[in-house]
Structure 1
């Protein structure tokens, strides 16, 4: 997330009123959005609902498992609540045809 804000800030600085001959390449944001982004947002939303007093301090996409008609996107979020930090492993299973969520599982970890 921090990288996204940094990149947007640099882009705004470079494009905002500067006419010094800098030519910016054609950038298509859609090309930079990973395929798991939709599921990552859902993982963060559901984790925030499940742990309302915790702050999400880190996020990691751990991969995707494909089955015949379903897939599972796996994430690890690191949370801070009061003076405690812990990880939450989230697995989102969904239909590959309809993208309908079938199941979401949570598992806490200390690593």
Structure 2
């Protein structure tokens, strides 16, 4: 009985650890959209990526913000802020805005 209890606890810990390690963050799908839209528009290599955060603007409108670091074909590097406004209940995208940064 004691072995069964220890085994059960061990299995539970392994399963719980695997679930927590493999879970994608909530912003991951928005980050993929930010990266894809940036590549389409700027035709540059994305060499760094940072999720800044989510803001709830209204109950029907949220905004995810990211900062990407790009390198163009000429080798110039620059920062780019990407803001995606969307309906959090339907994931309908209202807008995607880009703003260049020199930092």
Q: Tell me whether 77-86 or 42-51 shows the greater mean CA deviation.
A: 77-86
Q: Whose helix fraction is larger, Structure 1's or Structure 2's? A: 2
Return structure 1 stretches of 4+ with deviation > 6 angstroms.
Answer: none
Q: Distance in 2 between matches of 1:37 and 1:29?
A: 15
Which residue does the alignment assign to 2:88?
96
After TM superposition, list the pairs within 5 Å mapping 1:1-111 onto structure 2.
25-26=14-15, 27-28=18-19, 32-52=23-43, 54-66=44-56, 67-81=58-72, 82-111=74-103
Given the superposition, is the C-alpha separation of residues 103 and 30 from structure 1 closer, same or farther in structure 2, using an over 3 Å criterion?
farther
Q: Superposition RMSD on alpha carbons, in Å?
A: 2.0
Question: 3-state DSSP class of the match of 1:40?
Answer: helix
Deviations 1:19-60 (A, max 9, x none): xxxx993312785210000000000000000111x1000000
| Higher Rg of the two aligned structures | 2
- Structure 2 unaligned residues grouped into runs of 5+: 1-10
- Structure 1 unaligned residues grouped into runs of 5+: 1-22
Given the superposition, is the C-alpha separation of residues 30 and 97 from structure 1 closer, same or farther in structure 2, using an over 3 Å criterion?
farther
Greater length-normalized contact order (CA 8 Å, ≥ 6 residues apart):
2
**What count of residue pairs does the alignment treat as equivalent?**
88
Q: Distance in 1 between matches of 2:22 and 2:61?
A: 24
